[in-house]
Chains A and B, each alone.
Chain A
Amino acid sequence: MRKRIFLIGVGGQGILLATRLIGEAALYAGFNVSMSEVHGMAQRGGVVESAVVFGNRHSPVLADGEADIVIAFEPLEALRALPKCNKESVIVMNNSPIPPFTVTSGISDYPSISDIEMIIKSKVKAFYSFNGLAVARDAGSDKALNVVMVGIAVGLGLLDIDEALFEKALASLLPDRLLATNIKALNAGIALGQNSVRS
């Protein structure tokens, strides 16, 4: 068994916490797990990417073509993650955009979400697009998008880790006052993932 998961999004979306959530759950499940992060410019509105690998894999760094699963927190960044994928990859994408400054300032145009979805769909084995932000908002906080996205991947059955371990991992990572909202977000994500497997 080997899972190589790549996470990508924009500074402030809680990508490192999402990565760690998967990592801690994998550790509880008894896997050999490692993660890599790139720190530095995250607070300055740039792209943030990280990776978590577990099972039969030593290197935590994912090169082009090496991601089994991509969790993209933002549509444009999902597109930017394509080189990390291969034909067998699965991409899970939050489809609510955060236009970069190059777009808001009128220098370039943000591609349409349906174009982005079409391009990605044509390349990889499976592609799921959700409005994760709406789910997070329903659960009580936009900031819980990161936990919703992990929940969706769990619900889709992509991670091979028992659901309950994610709740345990959340409790170890978050202060008590944020826990209820995030558990709600996790479960909403899981339910959404499970429903789309059935449909």
Chain B
Amino acid sequence: MSSLLKAENEKVFLLGNEAIVRGAIESGVGYVTAYPGTPSSEIIDTMYRLRNDTGIRVEYAVNEKVSVEVAAAVSNAGIRSLVSMKHVGLNVAADAFMTLSYVGVKAGMVIVCADDPSLHSSQNEQDNRFYARMALVPMLEPSTPQEAYEMTCKAFELSESFGTPCLLRTTTRVNHARGVVKTGFIPPNGGMKKGEFKKDPFRYVVVPMVGRMLRVEQLKRWESLTQESNATDLNFVEGSGKIGVITSGVSYLYVKDAIEELGLNEEMKIAKLGMTSPFPDKFILNFLRTVDKVIVVEELEPYLEEAIRSVAQVGKWNGVIVGKEFIPRHFELNVPIVKRAFAKFLDLSLPQEEIFTVPSNIPARPPNLCPGCPHRATYYSVKKTFGRDALYPTDIGCYTLGLLPPLQMADFLICMGSSVSTGGGFSIALDNPVVAFIGDSTFFHAGITGLINCVTNGHKLLLVILDNSTTAMTGHQPHPGASMTVEGACECKVDVKTLVEACGVKACEVVNPLNVTRTIKTFEKIKNSMDSDPGVYVVISKSPCPLLERRVLRKKQKVYFFVDDTCDGCNVCLEELACPAFVRTDDRVSIDELLCIGCAVCAQICNSIKPRKIEK
């Protein structure tokens, strides 16, 4: 059994995401669902791995909206549920989320949303705390794995006692921090069981008349939640000075280190907020009245700061409040940033420390599509057929790396599923041919409606579905069309081709991108059809992710490729395919046999590249 389940009332070293898992299991959660997304993925993956030991029903959802909806039903049938997602996932789930706050829940329902300041692996760094305020739901913000564990338990209690979903808002530095967590006990009767639901359409079916009633109830609940927020020990004061600091989340750690390093323990007093929605107005007003001035330390938007200014105005507190004029609004904070802000605020001088720089022009090490990645092969064939003139809207997944030179096969991206719909948009505004790329998992997540929209409105494009049979980028989670999971081969539940054809496209072809000649031939055929009979075309470029295939299907590599003496150093392989296994030496190219996985794509574009059997 996993050590995550064994520890009872002892200290373990847990990832923030594992701490959330542990808290949920101790809270007797019965149902867990998520669409994966960095930095939240380890929550659902760990839950999935432990599902047989815990008896919890764990489901990979097709997207965040459906995950919240399914969990909402389960909770209203009396079973505690947990949903996790990355910050932008809550945009997808927002429709369900906003009105679930009206309808409420019966058993506890916790939504973990993992923000990503500094955009370590995201397209934006939106501050999801505003969602809590907009939806009028309670929100907890942990600073450490220990707090992530405790607040998960607390979030279930709050949710259940107030009958509302509760947001647990983390950031990358909490999800992916590892720290010491003191565990409690796992209840013996946890896991999924049968629920019950008493029909009451005039409370559960949100027609306007019901919505009006629920809206009034929601505001009453909000008042009681505000009392809770003012009373909870998740919000506490530390220290005794006359200079106030108000902070939450991981910023609290930076504040503590900065105060200690500057030797300001006697001068500064911290109000640390763990429950930041509803805003603890009375608690903060009381705090303000004990200090002369205050600095607000928070990452991203002035969420706390604006509330504090409003509280001060209502409570007629006239001290100085500073926030975003001293603390950057973009990217993560850290200890030196907070120290510099304190120094500026308190007019202290900091010793100038030399920061070393990286010598300029040292080689970069950008992430790259893996050797043998079928996406590279698809890009090669599409580029050969459609050239530089075509517009290439792309989507979110490993294949977004096709953006980098020399492939440069990505022209536009905003969010999950945007490839196909923006492709449709470009096709009505421009004369260029449009070829959009989307991964299989992303297609199920948010691409299907876009495709139907293109068909319905007569847009003209080719959608290439890069089908590697898994959600590779986030760690190989399954999806409806997957034919393998980390646990081995599995049956595909929804066939991509059948689905695409049902959407009414002009034609849908399936190619194996590792067969270059045939793939190019298919693309050429489609290109001709697009000229003679414009409309929506789809090519499913199907070849499994080699990383996963080798790991779970234990597929043995039979050959690797080498470059023979006829190489004239023309460099075409490097300029057009750019597999990381290629090595450029003085006047020719060779192949690193340790990196080559034997996909044979390069051997089809150059006669000097030959296979060699691997000796056993």
- A residues bordering B, Cβ < 8 Å? 10-11, 20, 23-24, 27, 32-41, 43-47, 56-66, 76-77, 79-80, 82-83, 85-87, 99-111, 119, 123, 172
Contact = CB atoms under 8 A, between A and B. Distances in A.
A36 to B, nearest CB: 5
Contacts, number: 161
A46 B13 CA distance: 27
B211 interface: no
B51 to A, nearest CB: 22
A10 B584 contact: no
Given A80-B358, A82-B358, A108-B363, A101 B368 contact: yes
Nearest to A34: B179
Contacts of B357: 82-83
Contacts of A37: 15, 176-178
B356 A82 contact: yes
Interface residues of B, number: 58
A108 B365 CA distance: 11
Contact of B582 (A11, A104, A110, A172): A104
A64 B356 CA distance: 8
A141 B307 CA distance: 57
Given A43-B370, A45-B580, 4 more contacts: A63-B336, A77-B365, A86-B353, A102-B363
Contacts of B1: none
B401 A44 contact: yes
Contact of A44 (B13, B38, B336, B398): B398
A102 B592 contact: no
Contacts of B180: 27, 32-34
Contacts of B366: 46, 100-102
B188 interface: no
Contacts of A109: 363
Interface stretch (B250-258, B285-293, B429-437): B250-258
B400 to A, nearest CB: 11
Interface string B172-188: 11001111100000000
B218 interface: no
Contact of B367 (A36, A44, A82): A44
A87 B354 CA distance: 8
Contact of A79 (B336, B362, B401): B362
A197 B144 CA distance: 37
A33 B13 contact: yes
B365 A39 contact: no
Contacts of A85: 356
A101 B337 CA distance: 34
Given A46-B367, A60-B173, A109-B363, A41 B358 contact: no
Max chain B C-beta neighbours (<10 A), residue from A41, A57, A65: A41
Contacts of A44: 367-370, 398, 401
Max chain B C-beta neighbours (<10 A), residue from A61, A77, A100: A61
A119 B359 contact: yes
8 contacts: A23-B178, A38-B172, A43-B547, A65-B356, A100-B363, A101-B580, A106-B571, A172-B3
Interface of B: 3, 11, 13, 15, 38-39, 42, 120-121, 144-145, 172-173, 176-180, 250, 253-254, 256-257, 260, 332, 334-337, 353-359, 361-370, 398, 401, 473, 547, 571, 574, 578, 580, 582-584, 592
Contacts of A56: 260
A109 B580 CA distance: 16
Contacts of A76: 362-363, 365
A102 B38 contact: no
A87 B370 CA distance: 38
Contact of A40 (B38, B178, B257, B356): B38
A34 B398 contact: no
Contacts of A106: 571, 574, 584
A34 B178 contact: yes
Given A44-B398, A104-B592, A65 B355 contact: yes
A34 B336 contact: no
Nearest to B574: A105
A87 B578 CA distance: 40
A77 B254 CA distance: 26
B350 to A, nearest CB: 12
B257 A58 contact: yes
Given A44-B369, A76-B362, A80-B358, A20 B178 contact: yes
A76 B359 CA distance: 11
Given A23-B178, A34-B179, A45-B370, A79 B365 contact: no
A45 B367 contact: yes
A36 B176 contact: yes
Given A65-B355, A76-B362, A104-B580, A59 B368 contact: no
A6 to B, nearest CB: 13
For the complex of A and B, 3 pairs with smallest distance between CB atoms: A106-B584, A46-B367, A63-B334
Contacts of A47: 365
Nearest to A169: B13
Contact of A100 (B334, B359, B364, B369): B364
Contact of B578 (A36, A77, A105): A105
Contacts of A65: 336, 353, 355-356
A38 B120 contact: yes
B282 to A, nearest CB: 28
A60 B174 CA distance: 10
Nearest to A86: B353
Contacts of B3: 172
A82 to B, nearest CB: 4
A68 to B, nearest CB: 13
Contacts of A107: 363
A103 B336 contact: no
Nearest to B366: A46
B365 A41 contact: no
